[in-house]
Amino acid sequence: MRRRRQLRTTRTRTRARTAPARTRTRTHAHTPAHAHAHTRTRSARWSQLALAVTAFALLATACGETSSDAAKDDDGGKKSGAYQGKGIGLAYDIGGQGDQSFNDAAFSGYERAREDFGIGGVDMEPGDGESAADKTQRIEQLARQGYDPVIGVGFVYAPAIQEVAKKYPKTTFGIVDDNTVQAANVADLVFHEEQGSYLAGVAAAKASRARHVGFIGGVDIPIIHKFEAGFVQGVKSVDPKIRIERRYLTEKPEEGGFSSPDKGQDAASGQLEAGADVVYHAAGLSGQGVIQEAGAQKKWAIGVDSDQYRQKALAKYKRYILGSAFKDVGGAVYDLTKSVVRGKPMTGTQRYDLRSGRVGFADSNPAYRARKDIVAAVEKAEKDIINGRVQVRTRP
């Protein structure tokens, strides 16, 4: 079925916010007793961070244990490895922590790695209306302070990591959702989002009573086109005649497509009023609005990136979250950190797909599991993709 041109071209446009960029930083220091100091500060307070780290080092020495000694092997035992970094440096994408999706998935891996390996860390929020130079400054600040690995969450950090990685060749850098940065000390952490989205499409088509579903993308860019392509292909594999509404919230990331729940809510309202009874979003924080609107109208929503049924901020609406097309960003953050702590840093392009278990369809909702027909269709689609019987497109 041809896409509905008028819906494709009707995009919400907003002006980029031009307020001065302000960066929030959270510092997490690990102690042998597992007491975590969690300090919120702004960039200007990095001097206090330095004092805190110095004090920690003295305390650890007095206790006869260094942060490197606290790093653990897989068997849980402690080792005196060669790790010399301060911990993980994590720079969030647009929307920041609390988006119940992409950034929160990265944070979960960050927290688990700090706990398992006994290391500290800093996670930094993006500023409103910030420039590419602001991102470069953030990444360089983390590297200069001795954090290793330094991870940029989102393709928007590609230019920054490309530049800073050259200056700090002994530091390992990671970037999520981008494979354009090719350097000896950079790991490109990329996912086959189209595969999880295909499963979302199968689930949506099977769940729809109206034979009418919707897709809402945050920003009209290639990586989100992968979500759309997989979803549409999955829907049509069930029923080629199902109507599919499609909408992108903005054309550029800085216009708020990933960070505006009100835009997501408006888009979902339009699609539901047009007759769709299942909506799938790939819109980051804006997706909260999609889920809220679907819940308010007692229609199905499908989440993205993390298992949104389990997100506390969405608990009020979770009965209407059919499932989520997840990608294990947290696992990628964890794996990269583990490799650095163990002295064998991952570099190059690291791809995660259905076969690896790092993308898929989360089935936490009991209402979904009760629909045996949907579960069976999704499981069959997953096997077909893994076995190569189905090749999922990456372009709509």
Report the residue count for the chain: 396
Give Cα 370 distance to the centre of its chain: 28
Task: Tell me whether residue 279 is in a domain.
Answer: yes
Residues 166 and 223 in one domain: no
- What is the CATH classification number for the domain harbouring 281? 3.40.50.2300
Q: How many CB atoms lie within 10 A of CB 247?
A: 26
Is 379 found in the same domain as 265? yes
Question: Residue 71: inside a domain, yes or no?
Answer: yes
Residue pair 117/341 in contact by the 8 Å Cβ criterion: yes
pLDDT tens-place values along the chain, 396 residues long: 433 333 333 333 333 333 334 455 666 665 433 334 333 333 333 334 443 444 444 344 444 333 333 333 333 333 335 799 999 999 999 888 988 889 999 999 999 999 999 999 999 999 877 899 999 999 999 999 999 999 999 999 999 999 999 999 999 999 999 999 999 999 999 999 999 999 999 999 999 999 999 999 999 999 999 999 999 999 999 999 999 999 999 999 889 999 999 999 999 999 999 999 999 999 999 999 999 999 999 999 999 999 999 999 999 999 999 999 999 999 999 999 999 999 999 999 999 999 999 999 999 999 999 999 999 999 999 999 999 999 999 999
Residue pair 188/181 in contact (Cβ under 8 Å)? The answer is yes
Spatial distance between the Cα atoms of 295 and 317, rounded to a whole number of angstroms = 5
**Domain boundary at 166, 191, 216, which?**
191
Same domain, 138 and 213: no
* Angle at CA of residue 364, ends 363 and 370, nearest 5°: 70
The kind and range of the H/E element at 348 are strand 348-352
Rounded Cα gap, residues 61 and 284, in angstroms: 43
Are 44 and 63 found together in one domain?
Answer: yes
Of 363, 326, 283, 254, the C-alpha closest to 109 is 326
Spatial distance between the Cα atoms of 19 and 155, rounded to a whole number of angstroms: 22
Whether residue 173 sits in one domain with residue 64: yes
Report the b/e string of 232-245 with b at 16+ CB within 10 A: bbbbbbbeeebbbb
User: Could you tell me if residue 40 is left (phi over 0), alpha (psi between -120 and 50 degrees) or otherwise beta?
Assistant: beta
pTM higher than the cut 0.85: no
pLDDT at 25: 66
Whether 54 and 182 map to the same domain: the answer is: yes
Collect all residues with Cβ–Cβ distance below 8 Å to 335 and sequence separation of at least 6. 346, 350
> Same domain for 268 and 283?
yes
Residues 183 and 213 in one domain: no
343: exposed, middle or buried (Cβ count in 10 Å: 0-12, 13-18, 19+): exposed
Domain annotation covers residue 396? no
The whole-number pLDDT of residue 137 equals 97
Strands (E), 24-161: 24-29, 37-42, 87-91, 120-124, 150-152
* Domain assignment present for 350: no
The reply to whether 333 falls in a domain is no
Q: Is residue 351 part of a domain?
A: no
Does residue 302 form part of some domain? yes
Q: Are residues 198 and 186 in the same domain?
A: no
Beta-strand runs (E) in 220-341: 243-250, 278-282, 300-305, 321-327
Statement to judge: residues 104 and 215 lie in one domain: no
Number of other CB atoms surrounding residue 73 within 10 Å: 12
Of 138, 160, 191, the position where a domain reaches its end is 191
Question: Which structural domain range is residue 224 located in?
Answer: 5-15+193-327+356-386
Residues 84 and 180 in one domain: yes
Whether residue 127 is found in the same domain as residue 143:
yes
Domain membership of residue 211 (yes or no) is yes
Domain count, the chain: 2
